[in-house]
A and B are shown apart, each in its own frame.
Chain A
Amino acid sequence: MFKSKKGQYDIARKSIFWMIAGVVITITVLAFAMILSIYQGEVSTVPAEYEAKLTALRFVNTAECFTYQDLVTGRIESGVIDIDKFTQERLDDCYRSDSERGYSSFNFGLSLVGFDAIDVDSGEEKILMTNNFFNKVDFTLRFPVIVRSGSEEFSTQLLVFVQEGI
């Protein structure tokens, strides 16, 4: 079929060209898809601070978390933290990111200024942490709160250390 040397050379040249072109075309198509995918992600992105704040609002507004609830009337007092509820067990029940993919979602460390428990070994204040919080603090949210301890009330701040996905 290809009797002359030039014919054979042409075939070899074209084959090499298409081998390289195949790789380049594949990379181009994948890059194009990736660029569009990133663009789509950017279009639908919500600022992390906003989303984290919506999630973290439960810590100061929800009776199933730390918010004080009057036992007689059942009224939930938003922004009032019941110091007896401010425990690690309570936080585990309040917010628990998925054990497998939870590291990629929001995780929180909570510090109630002036009311944190003291670590027996180090003597430092202990913060409450959600199950996938690894001390990688991306930003901090501050909620002015009232702490209710028995019949006494104190004004302070709840610091919420937010860890975005790792």
Chain B
Amino acid sequence: MMKKIFGGKKGVQILFIVFELLIVLFVIFTLVKIAESYGSTTGTQKAILSKDLKMMVDTLVATPGDVVVEYPGDVSSYQFHLFQDHILVALYDEDKGFGISNYFSLPKGYKATGSVMESEKLCFVKQNTNMLLSNCV
């Protein structure tokens, strides 16, 4: 039966049509997946958050005295890690490798550290030349 279907010229044509349909479906699936990944707000949101926090670091460096700043907005869906030269933002259940980093330069003698995970509020604390990223108390 199979030989009868795919053995002849018509069988080859059917095979090609199936192949073409599969290609078309694959292309549609790929495009939808790409659009979905960019369309989901998380990627853009991570980029915006990391940029915001980088600018917050720059602002705190330029602010004399001790400061505590609370980031406006619910950030419970994300994890944040502050390092000496960059801030990393990732989804709370995501590997850090998929996070988005933003780099900054601190004056000599400044120290930046701290992580926040699964917390609604996020605070930057600056004491002398130490910057700490922490949950707001």
Contacts and interface: CB of A to CB of B under 8 A. Distances in A.
Contacts of B61: 58, 62
A37 B9 contact: no
B108 A94 contact: yes
A65 B62 CA distance: 10
Interface string A28-63: 110011001101110110100001001101101111
Interface string B51-63: 1000100110111
Interface string A86-120: 00000001111110010001000000000000000
A96 B84 CA distance: 13
Contacts of A98: 85, 103, 105
A78 interface: yes
B27 interface: yes
Contacts, number: 93
A57 B55 contact: no
B71 to A, nearest CB: 15
Interface stretch (A1-9, A133-141, A153-161): A1-9
Interface stretch (B40-48, B73-81, B90-98, B113-121): B40-48
Interface residues of B, number: 35
Interface of A is mostly: helix
B31 A32 contact: yes
Given A58-B107, A98-B103, A37 B38 contact: yes
Nearest to A55: B58
Contacts of B105: 95-98, 105
The 3 lowest CB-CB distance pairs between A and B, nearest first, are A57-B62, A93-B108, A36-B38
A165 to B, nearest CB: 11
B44 A25 contact: no
B64 A62 contact: yes
Interface of A: 1-2, 4, 7, 10-11, 14, 18, 21, 25, 28-29, 32-33, 36-37, 39-41, 43-44, 46, 51, 54-55, 57-58, 60-65, 67, 76, 78, 93-98, 101, 105
Contact of A62 (B62, B85, B104): B62
Nearest to A59: B62
B35 A36 contact: yes
B72 interface: no
B55 A46 contact: yes
